[in-house]
Structure 1
Amino acid sequence: MFLAERSGETSRLRQVFSEVGGGRGRIVVVGGPAGSGRTALLKEAVDGLAVPVALLSAHCSRAEQNLPLGVIRQLFAGPAVGADRARQVADLLRRGAEEAGAAAGEESAHMGPADAAVAEELWSVVVDVSARTPVGIVVDDIRHADAHSLKYLLYFIRRSHTVRTAMVFVESDEMLPVYPLFQDELHQRTDVHYIRLSLLSRAGISAILCERLGHGNSSAVVDSCAEVTGGNPLLVRAFAADVESNAPAVPVSAGEAVGDAFRQAVTLCLRRSGAEALEAARVLALLGEGADPALVGRTLDIGPRTADRLLGLLRGTGLVTDDGFRHPAVRAAVLAQTPEAVRTGLESRIARVLYDSGAPSPVVASYLTAAPAPFDVADERWTWAVPVLRDAAELAAAENRVPQATAYLEQAHRAASGGCERAAILVALARLQRRSSPRAALRRLDPVVGHLTAGRFDAAHAAVMVRCLLQDGRHDEARELLRRLDGTDDGHGPAAAAKGLLGLWLAVSYPGVARSIDPDAAPWQHARGPESDGDALRRRATRLLAAVLGGTADERGIHEAEQALRIYHVTEHTLEPLTLALSALVYADRAATASAWCAALLAGTDLAHAPAWRAQLSSLAAQAALRQGMLPDAERFATAALSGMTAGDWGAEIGTPLATAVLVRLAAGRPDDAGTLLQRPVPAETHEGRAGLHYRYARGRYCLQTARPHAALRDFLDCGVLVQRWRMDTPGLVPWRTAAAEALARIGEATRARRLVSEELDTLRAAPPGRSYGVALRTLAAVSRPEQRPEILRQAVDVLRASGDRYELARTLVDAADAHEALGESKRARYAARRARGAAESCGAHGLLARLRPPGTGPVTPAAADGGAPALPGGAELSGAESKVAALAALGYSNRDIGRKLHITVSTVEQHLTRVYRKLNVSRRQDLPAPDPRLPVALL
């Protein structure tokens, strides 16, 4: 074998053998860290001796360390002893073995008379051989020699100075010798020569790689090898073997070069360093960057000085530096070669040490979850583990690290001993599971159902169960839990708070279930008891939604909802209150505000592991977009909501996103697509909650648009019966009165229709005019006398333009065009139609456009470039600024509105209009030609 940077040591060792011929014995100890090449050096030196030497050699092994005189037997088994002495030696070894057997278990450093006699005769054999030729006694890896052989070797050492013998002992760095007297006596002698091997320099590494790889020995490979091996010859050769096996693709980085040979070499190096060093290396690998000698010592239950010595021993091999493992590849190799059972035991010990030292819960929990059962759950010494795992799970969930949080909770569930504690952990697991699959979360809770029905009732757990059961459509089971929950306490304490909060949520989410339990109760009014910050937020949000649905909301409540949306991000504890707050904004005709917050929550929250959360937020975003007339956005969000969760996961709440998707397609002029959506099965339990109201309303709109007004009327009136029974009769939820009025008008019951619309307007007049008020005005016009309609529709246009609902604005403008046409006001009709066309195009309401293109109408003028001025027929002579002003004026905007949109003064607008009138030869706005029907949205 080629040895790099070992020529001086080889020469010194050969010189020792050469000097023995002068009649004086020599003793040499070759030392160095594991993997430094001690055995290779010895072989190189002996093979190249220039003088004849009778070699007596032995190689010690850990496996034979308990065999008495195993090393001595090897020394005298070679041909150098001579055949004439073989029988004598065999007899001596037999006697020595008998003495060793008789002294088994004794640790005395002294030789008995019988042992001394055997040693003396064996030494005489060596003396006789040395009379003919110098003798070399070579013992490799002497730290694994049996204690009895070491006693004999000491006997020989004390008598070697006058005999032509060269004694060479190869030892590695170690913690504790098997026979300390041997090392002590060697160190006390002045005639012992020490040869210590060091790690290789970069030049030595390059020499080995050059000899092994030839042209593949690039500077990059040498640097990589030095980085990962530290110059340990054993590791360098393993590195070269891995590079050679990967040829011709020569790696550039150290990590790329590491393969099986290197990993096995790391393990061999550690094993040669001793069991204690190997265990310390494993602890160091498991601790990672946070390792320090004190932590290693506490894990191995050794003192800090012993730990320091062990780490020093590892540093000597080149595997470890002062900062830990030299390279991640070394750490990975140690971990890869650690048996699973050993690793599990070490990780559980590390977890306890870290816990005692005050380490953060996630750090401790990462070791507790390393294996399915790293600790004895029946052992009371591990009772601390479950709270640590639950705390770490909560922190991981808050950071959206769902797989890690799930692993912590599953380990905690395995470790928990009590039924109540295990139930609480299952509830926490279900909350995590609800991020991806509400139905799968309910399956997690099946054991909790048994726990609750067995009499060990917990109000908080029951509240979670009720929510899950209702969403899954298992309303009978939910009612049973609600009845049992009603008698669990005296109205005070945490149970009362949980009950009250659940009752409040039921009243706004599943009022049909709430009324079936107690038709006259208003549970949101009677909740008492202490509550957490999360419960307080949930209570405020639910109260706001109840106020909006009950028609008693004020600006203060709306402001509080916006504050909550501004402060909180989505977690298990805040998702429900935030979605309730968003629903309140939608129903309060604050769709633009709700839409902005939906977008912020969807964009600002890591929902990679929470598709169910994304689906719920998308459903709300779709509702908000629809109420702004942003049909493409509403369709996109509704599709995302329905595809983000399966129908089974949506359960009884699928009615809401499905209704939005139906209404969007109806508004876009695609009733067939809407009908396809309505063919999807919907659980009957859907109609016991708010989702059922949305679904009935959407189904009624579909029936109305497909010429089935009687079926539509039935759905709208059913909505009215339910919202009145549930005390949530607000047009912002479902405008059932105006919708029913449309259906009644279709079947000729105009008087009844006007009465319903009047009722709707009466409920809305107390609040500032909003979207619902504008819709009611449009419906009122439809059931009023023809001469009254234009003025009512003008008021509706003003209200709807201010509310921001483009679709309802377009519908109202279409109605205005029809109303003027019915009165014979053709110019006004054309003016309203132009405005309606622009509004319908801007929101994607293609169904309305069909009403605006009478037979014989020419093709639509191509749209202007984005951001440019809309084209006006005959307007080639207009400047860009004049074209913009003329287009907006043609759409009916006032001079003040035009100034605000174009950021110019009213006086400038008037000047532009004067020039426009002159160039186009018109005298008033109504005579301005229609702009491009696909007017850029930014100008509306």
Structure 2
Amino acid sequence: MTVEHPTTESPTGPLAANVVGRRREIDRVSRALDAAAEHKFSLLMFEGPLGVGKSTLLDAAAEVAAARGFHGASALLAPEGSGSPLHVVHRLLDDVLMNVPGDVVETVVSVAKAQGFDLVPWLTEAQPPTGQDDRRVFASLARVVGALTARVPLCFVIDDLQCADASSLRWLSYLAERRLRLPVVFLLGRTAGAPVEHALALAELGMAAERVRVDGFGLGDTESFLRRVLRTEPEPEFVSTCARLTGGIPLLLRWCAVPSAEDFAVCGTPELGMAVLARLNRHSSELVRLVKVLAVLETPTLELSAAVTGLTAPAARDAVVHLVGLGLLADDVSIAFAHPVVRDSIAATVSHLEADGMHARAARHLHEASAPDLVIARHAVRTHARLGVGIAEALLRAADLPLTDRDPALGTAFLTRALREALPPELRRHLLLRLARSEVHRDPRRAAAHLSEALDYVDDPQSMCTIACRLAQILQFEGHYAEAAAVLRRAITDVGAANPAVVAQLRLALHAVVPGRAAEGAMVGDWRRFPGAGRELAALVAGIDATTGEDLVRGREAALVALSRGVNSILHEPHQLVATIDSLIRVDELDSALRHSVEMVDEAQRRGLELLGALGHTLRSRVHRHRGELPEAIANAQLAVADVRRAGGDPRHFTFVYATEALVRALVEAGDLTGAATAADAVGLTGLLPDSWHHACFLHARGVLRMRQGDVEGALVDQLASGERLAVWSGRNPPPRSWRSNAAMAYLRLGREQDARQLAVEGLELARRWQVPSSIARALLTVAAATRGPAAEASLAEAEAVLRGSPARLLHAQVLFALGTHRWQHGRSDLARRDLVLARSLARECGATPLLTAIEDLPADALLPGEAEAPVLPRRASVLLTQQERKVATLVVAGASNDEVARQLDVTRRGVEAHLTNIYRKLGVRRRTQLQSALADFAS
């Protein structure tokens, strides 16, 4: 009998020719086949992580062997089928003998019988070779193989070698150790890290075999693989992204290949997860349970993983080690997934019910182990199971952690989850209050619903007062004044006469939030005798005084008390916070108002609160407009509108209307009437508007726009309607939107001079009582326009004198223009030129295009040449910068940014901004580029 030697030309089939990235391994197989042709026994063991493509490699290698004339047999092993002795050897020999000529089978059987080994009963499993000496059986089987190779060379392929029985592993070691002169090649595939029942036997074989490591693809092979899968040329960025996220593992690349790199972030699919789990299940069901827990709970501790899966700690540790070896986990310390896409895909295979149970078991275990509240809460919030009061309390404590300031939605989720438990009334009330506090900036309607429910769980008068006031303020913000009044009146009734201090607070709140209430001066004046209310009550009083004009000194004092600890102290009461900062604007405390509105915006951005940010930007816009900084006013109002839209705000809601009013006013002053009309149209460019405070204020802004557009009658209608509505809240106070001045100007344009003078004089009387410079100057400007003639100059001169040193720069420019034109018309040209030059300089700095146009339309000799213009605000020798302000100014002039200044002086960025605000004010400049010349002037 002669051996048919294989060809030496190393032919390959389609699979081997097309396999990607495995040329080194295929070449090694070819060399082993060459050695077998010279009767040199070879045993190659290919090892690699799960999904690296060992099976594909072994199939390609078998194809190469077949093309070279080798007769082959293969065995794909599984743990449940490898229990009997020599199970793998039986499968290989059975496969070979089923596919060789009958005379070869007879020869082999004869050889076996000569060795005292009956091969046929064993192969039919009727009589397995038990009770015999292993070495003798191994020798007999070796001679059987030798008999087979007398006719044809053999190539045996065994995949998932870790599942082989111990006796088969020892027989393979026996063959390797004997170094038989036979044309035989064994190609073995082993999944690294997979559980091994017969570890010592496999280790012994590993020492005898030639081990070949199979790893993920490099960048070039990844590109080739993706090209084949996608059937198109992949982009370089896509290739590098795939290589980085998968480690070049073919299994992951095949399931995750998508048309673009942008889509790769969402490539985790249940199909990929099921493919991974199916392969794991071939090794151990415990690995499947554990890896699902790790994917769902997102890298928990080993102890928690064991508790949730029901494994013992040692078993969980062993499973983790296996998963690391399989390439699924990065290491056995962090127990994090090596490839996030695998984690996401496995998590996608877990049903909602199964995941719910995992999180419930995790929360209970962590609570019993006294884990941190935040750790417990993150699991409790993801299950619907009843967990008990203890975990509800942990959720409440977690919601109060600093982390939730940066992520308020997380705190809200914790509190909402805690409310699903069966709780005692006191804890439920506390949770409802805390939840409403976290929702007020994001979803005021839900906050109102939770406050309303909290009222059913409270008997304490002071607590009832606090809840009722907060609920009423939210309803006021929403424009539900009747509901707000009903809440407060019900609370007054429930509290009763036995608690006069609490009733007084409730009446004060009723006076603030409900239109039509008569002022109760004594009650407002005694606000300090309610120490329990603190800054919240001070904010309420500040808003009342600013709205009604009852007491300027008291209102300013209350505002300063309310903001004494910064906006954070009353951040949970946005309506009171807005009213307080707004009260500072109404009394010309613009620097303070800007500082607090900046702080408000910073807090909103830090916490991701769009509605709060919109309110802060709106307040900043109003401050900038009053200061004559129109570009900044427009920018902040646009940011406010964008914040509301991003938060999904209702166009009728206070926040949107408030922001739109600020935008319309700023655009009108800047001369952009088209932009102002577009902005106003979102609320209502014509027609009736809802009967609310914010719509009454918007009517005033719409009237100003219509006046500039030439619709004088429409403007008058809007201003009178605005004044009628505002009077319900503010009585006869002049600051709210100066509707009298605008209505008077409309009357003048319509020829109704008597009506104009009547409104102008009434406004001036109220302004003098209010004693705020900008209010007085605006009223004087209107009186001058209504009276005309020589008598008007006295009013205009007084208005200009009142505004000297005032931050109301735009109004100052308007007064100077009116005074200059009046003096020019009455022959006082020198004084007129000085006034008009100052008006032009201020108008330019403010960006007030309409006012600049009006000035430029004056006769040429009414203005001094441009180079002769005087500074807007004269320098005063008494103005001194503090030492820290000088340091800040010097660094800014040198070109340092605010962040760089903060680092060099070891202060916060907010501190630098506050210093710059003071520096600009003291030196009479508005921007950084003016600082150098201003400092030079100051030094001289």
Shared fold per TM-score greater than 0.5: yes
Q: Deviations over 1:507-535 (max 9, x none)?
A: 334353687xx99965984985857xxxx
In the alignment, the residues of structure 2 paired with residue 47 and residue 679 of structure 1 have an alpha-carbon distance, to the nearest angstrom, of 84
1:877 matched to which residue of 2?
Answer: none
The question of whether the paired residues in 2 share the 8 Å contact of 1:286 and 1:335 is answered with: yes
In the alignment, the residues of structure 2 paired with residue 187 and residue 842 of structure 1 have an alpha-carbon distance, to the nearest angstrom, of 85
833 and 408 in structure 1: CA distance in 2 versus 1, 3 angstrom threshold: same
Output the amino acid matched with 2:550: G
1:557 matched to which residue of 2?
Answer: 557
The question of whether the paired residues in 2 share the 8 Å contact of 1:172 and 1:273 is answered with: no
Partner of residue 478 from structure 1, selected from 481, 484, 495? 484
Q: Deviations over 1:705-736 (max 9, x none)?
A: 9379997997698579646xx6x765444668
662 and 255 in structure 1: CA distance in 2 versus 1, 3 angstrom threshold: closer
Partner of residue 391 from structure 1, selected from 382, 390, 398? 398
Q: CA deviation at 1:590?
A: 1.6
Q: CA deviation at 1:585?
A: 0.6
The question of whether the paired residues in 1 share the 8 Å contact of 2:48 and 2:215 is answered with: no
Matched, 1:584 2:583: yes
1:541 matched to which residue of 2?
Answer: 539
The question of whether the paired residues in 1 share the 8 Å contact of 2:44 and 2:210 is answered with: no
Output the amino acid matched with 1:772: S
The question of whether the paired residues in 2 share the 8 Å contact of 1:742 and 1:753 is answered with: no
In the alignment, the residues of structure 1 paired with residue 662 and residue 267 of structure 2 have an alpha-carbon distance, to the nearest angstrom, of 57
1:710-725 correspondence runs (5 A): 718=724, 722=728
Matched, 1:61 2:83: no
Q: Deviations over 1:376-408 (max 9, x none)?
A: 23x54x851574277348756521x45555555
Q: CA deviation at 1:607?
A: 7.8
Q: CA deviation at 1:354?
A: 4.9
- Classify the secondary structure of the residue corresponding to 1:802: coil
- Classify the secondary structure of the residue corresponding to 2:385: coil
416 and 571 in structure 1: CA distance in 2 versus 1, 3 angstrom threshold: farther
Q: Deviations over 1:786-822 (max 9, x none)?
A: 6665445323212113213234334434553565468
The question of whether the paired residues in 2 share the 8 Å contact of 1:618 and 1:637 is answered with: yes
The question of whether the paired residues in 1 share the 8 Å contact of 2:32 and 2:185 is answered with: no
Matched, 1:620 2:613: no
Output the amino acid matched with 1:274: S
Partner of residue 466 from structure 1, selected from 468, 472, 475? 472
- Classify the secondary structure of the residue corresponding to 1:606: helix
Partner of residue 799 from structure 2, selected from 796, 807, 811? 796
Matched, 1:275 2:274: no
Matched, 1:512 2:516: yes
In the alignment, the residues of structure 2 paired with residue 741 and residue 12 of structure 1 have an alpha-carbon distance, to the nearest angstrom, of 104
- Classify the secondary structure of the residue corresponding to 1:803: coil
69 and 576 in structure 1: CA distance in 2 versus 1, 3 angstrom threshold: farther
The question of whether the paired residues in 2 share the 8 Å contact of 1:389 and 1:409 is answered with: yes
In the alignment, the residues of structure 2 paired with residue 221 and residue 638 of structure 1 have an alpha-carbon distance, to the nearest angstrom, of 41
Q: Deviations over 1:549-603 (max 9, x none)?
A: 43152698378369647x4459952634432331121122223442454355446
Q: Deviations over 1:495-514 (max 9, x none)?
A: 997x8766545433435368
Query: Which segments of 5 or more consecutive residues in structure 1 lack a partner in the other structure?
Result: 22-26, 97-114, 862-869, 873-882, 902-935
- Classify the secondary structure of the residue corresponding to 1:584: helix
1:763 matched to which residue of 2?
Answer: 769
In the alignment, the residues of structure 2 paired with residue 291 and residue 850 of structure 1 have an alpha-carbon distance, to the nearest angstrom, of 68
In the alignment, the residues of structure 2 paired with residue 598 and residue 838 of structure 1 have an alpha-carbon distance, to the nearest angstrom, of 28
1:913 matched to which residue of 2?
Answer: none
Which range moved further: 322-331 or 34-43? 34-43
267 and 473 in structure 1: CA distance in 2 versus 1, 3 angstrom threshold: same
The question of whether the paired residues in 1 share the 8 Å contact of 2:799 and 2:815 is answered with: yes
The question of whether the paired residues in 1 share the 8 Å contact of 2:395 and 2:414 is answered with: no
1:110 matched to which residue of 2?
Answer: none
The question of whether the paired residues in 2 share the 8 Å contact of 1:638 and 1:660 is answered with: yes
Output the amino acid matched with 1:683: P
Q: CA deviation at 1:270?
A: 3.6
In the alignment, the residues of structure 2 paired with residue 8 and residue 625 of structure 1 have an alpha-carbon distance, to the nearest angstrom, of 77
The question of whether the paired residues in 1 share the 8 Å contact of 2:45 and 2:212 is answered with: no
742 and 283 in structure 1: CA distance in 2 versus 1, 3 angstrom threshold: closer
Q: CA deviation at 1:442?
A: 1.8
1:606 matched to which residue of 2?
Answer: 605
In the alignment, the residues of structure 2 paired with residue 821 and residue 223 of structure 1 have an alpha-carbon distance, to the nearest angstrom, of 75
The question of whether the paired residues in 1 share the 8 Å contact of 2:50 and 2:191 is answered with: yes
The CA RMSD measured in Å over matched residues stands at 7.1
1:816 matched to which residue of 2?
Answer: 819
In the alignment, the residues of structure 1 paired with residue 295 and residue 716 of structure 2 have an alpha-carbon distance, to the nearest angstrom, of 76
Which is higher, the Rg of structure 1 or of structure 2?
1
1:887 matched to which residue of 2?
Answer: 869
1:909 matched to which residue of 2?
Answer: none
Output the amino acid matched with 1:887: E
Q: CA deviation at 1:454?
A: 10
2:808 matched to which residue of 1?
Answer: 805
In the alignment, the residues of structure 1 paired with residue 372 and residue 619 of structure 2 have an alpha-carbon distance, to the nearest angstrom, of 38
In the alignment, the residues of structure 1 paired with residue 622 and residue 723 of structure 2 have an alpha-carbon distance, to the nearest angstrom, of 22
In the alignment, the residues of structure 2 paired with residue 702 and residue 228 of structure 1 have an alpha-carbon distance, to the nearest angstrom, of 59
The question of whether the paired residues in 2 share the 8 Å contact of 1:507 and 1:522 is answered with: no
TM-score scaled to structure 2, two decimals? 0.62
How many percent of aligned residue pairs carry the same amino acid?
19
In the alignment, the residues of structure 2 paired with residue 225 and residue 617 of structure 1 have an alpha-carbon distance, to the nearest angstrom, of 44
95 and 479 in structure 1: CA distance in 2 versus 1, 3 angstrom threshold: farther
415 and 680 in structure 1: CA distance in 2 versus 1, 3 angstrom threshold: farther
TM-score scaled to structure 1, two decimals? 0.62
1:310 matched to which residue of 2?
Answer: 319
1:89-238 correspondence runs (5 A): 89=121, 133=147, 195=209, 197=211, 199-200=213-214, 238=251
Output the amino acid matched with 2:445: L
1:906-917 correspondence runs (5 A): none
2:925 matched to which residue of 1?
Answer: none
In the alignment, the residues of structure 2 paired with residue 456 and residue 661 of structure 1 have an alpha-carbon distance, to the nearest angstrom, of 45
The question of whether the paired residues in 1 share the 8 Å contact of 2:52 and 2:249 is answered with: no
1:774-923 correspondence runs (5 A): 774-778=777-781, 789-817=792-820, 820=823, 825=828, 828=831, 832=835, 836=839, 839=842, 843=846, 858=859, 872=865, 886-888=868-870
The question of whether the paired residues in 2 share the 8 Å contact of 1:619 and 1:657 is answered with: yes
In the alignment, the residues of structure 2 paired with residue 398 and residue 304 of structure 1 have an alpha-carbon distance, to the nearest angstrom, of 37
Q: CA deviation at 1:837?
A: 5.4
Q: Deviations over 1:817-836 (max 9, x none)?
A: 56546866566556655555
- Classify the secondary structure of the residue corresponding to 2:553: coil
Output the amino acid matched with 1:61: A
Output the amino acid matched with 2:285: A
Q: Deviations over 1:610-669 (max 9, x none)?
A: 443333234333433443355565566556656764894544687766766676677678
1:75-94 correspondence runs (5 A): 80=97, 89=121
Q: CA deviation at 1:364?
A: 4.3
Which range moved further: 5-14 or 712-721? 5-14
Output the amino acid matched with 2:321: G
Output the amino acid matched with 2:551: G
The question of whether the paired residues in 2 share the 8 Å contact of 1:585 and 1:593 is answered with: yes
1:921 matched to which residue of 2?
Answer: none
- Classify the secondary structure of the residue corresponding to 1:682: coil
1:4-43 correspondence runs (5 A): none
Output the amino acid matched with 2:516: G
505 and 170 in structure 1: CA distance in 2 versus 1, 3 angstrom threshold: same
Output the amino acid matched with 1:582: I
2:921 matched to which residue of 1?
Answer: none
1:265-344 correspondence runs (5 A): 267=277, 270-285=280-295, 293-322=302-331, 324-328=336-340, 331-332=343-344, 334-335=346-347, 342-344=354-356
Which range moved further: 816-825 or 64-73? 64-73
In the alignment, the residues of structure 1 paired with residue 775 and residue 252 of structure 2 have an alpha-carbon distance, to the nearest angstrom, of 76
2:691 matched to which residue of 1?
Answer: 684
In the alignment, the residues of structure 2 paired with residue 10 and residue 311 of structure 1 have an alpha-carbon distance, to the nearest angstrom, of 37
The question of whether the paired residues in 1 share the 8 Å contact of 2:614 and 2:644 is answered with: yes
Q: How many residues align?
A: 811
1:865 matched to which residue of 2?
Answer: none
